[in-house]
Structure 1
Amino acid sequence: MTDLSSNEPLTNIRIVLVKTQHPGNIGSTARAMLTMGLTELVLVSPDRFPHPQARMTAAHAGPVIDHAQVVDSLAEAVAGCVWVVASSARPRHLGDEPLRPWDAAARAASVAKAGKVAIVFGCERTGLTNEELDLCHAVTMIPANPGYSSLNLSQAVQVLAYELRKASLPDAPTVSSKQGHPWYEPPAAEEMERFYGHLERILLSTGFLDPANPRLLMRRLRQFFNRASPDRNELNILRGILTSIEKPKRRRIPLDGSAAADE
């Protein structure tokens, strides 16, 4: 069973869909929400809900559908919310400049630490009416391609849900096994200096670096490796390559293509 538990302040953020026409969009919205840790869905006068297609498109986010509230008006949907932001696809003549999604999400995450926040989306065909916008404290607009700015309802929810998760969980746990392992720590300055000395010695021995005409080669190589920022493990590999040039091993290459043996 899908777990509806979520981290604060995400549990204080409510997604509101107003007069949704297609039940598949409700299911897709539930899926978009749960992937980002949002679970509270409120539906204002949906055309068809409950509906099998909503459950089908929700995939494993069925519990969000099961717990969705259905109300008759936007005023009911945002009751108890201390900040309400509307998602709009078109500019309005009145009102402040729309917030960018990341700015709206940052403020929503901050306000949600103390109270309920609602993110409101209008119906697919007409969006939110001016009267519905009057019930919102702010508006956000997704900066889509001006030549084709049409976003599906659930896609718009996904964009805002992603920004909300980023803003709410800035210290998300790492998943890489490299984190905290000493092999993957950055080398100390003196380790890098030993590497550069080793590199210069090898380049001189091979004739690649002409001491009479160095032409800033070592400075450029320093900039290259500083940009690459090798970790300790990678630096050891590089030192090993240099050592293999300095003291090459002679390997017998068998005719059958099997592993070569050191002499």
Structure 2
Amino acid sequence: MNPPGTPQAPGGDRSTRSAGSTRSAGPARTHDHQASGRGALNRDLIVSAAIEYVDEHGLAMLTMRRLGEHLGVEAMSLYRYVNGREDLLEEIVRRMVDSLHVDSARRELLAGPGWQAYLQWLAHAVRRLARQHPQLFPLIATRHPAAPWLRPPLRSLDVVEDFLATLVDRGFSMENAVMAYRAFTSYLLGYLLLEVSTMSGRTVAEDSLTEVANSPPPSPMPLDGYPHIQRLETLLSQDHTDLEFELSLEDMLDRIERLLANDRS
């Protein structure tokens, strides 16, 4: 994040221009350090406003200029706090996914010997996030993760550490915990992408696919403080997509077979 003292790009903002400059009449702008009706401009406020803007207008419409207009400030003022649109999109994804991290209050609710309560809570939390932000969920699903084995929509180190620790602490072997992580994320991603595409009136996540095609790959993230991920990184990195597809297909066929059996009974 650039601190407030970081120099701006050439041209500056309106507050730094000569008072004698002539401009065509237009809507009055607030001071660069204060967004209209929102208080002092900062990174958190900018990210919240970007989420709000995309929810209303769609991802393709988000530009720094339009976001500045939405906040009532010059676009150049935003660069004091975010390093452009790519940085802003990364922060949006981080903000949304971090809401799935189990804090101390939630952990008390999920305490107990079983693992089902945690997976139930997590699945519903991800679905709630997708339904609240159908224009942004495809971005979470398709944007480059920080590591190739971080599978969307659970693409946060904190969330994956929660997942693995919860299952291992409740009797899962490390291998089975990783298999459960893969199966769980595949199920959520497939179902919820279909659901939000229906909600937003899009058959595919066009905006997000364009974003991921144009975005650079992220830098590797340090894993200090994530002991389960460190121990399981090799397993997480293995490619079992063919096997996972076949297992998921068999599971689906078994479900259909059970439906047929119920119809015949």
TM range (shorter): under 0.3
Q: TM-score, normalised by structure 2?
A: 0.24
Q: TM-score, normalised by structure 1?
A: 0.24
Q: Which structure dedicates a bigger proportion of its chain to strand? A: 1
Q: Which structure dedicates a bigger proportion of its chain to helix? A: 2
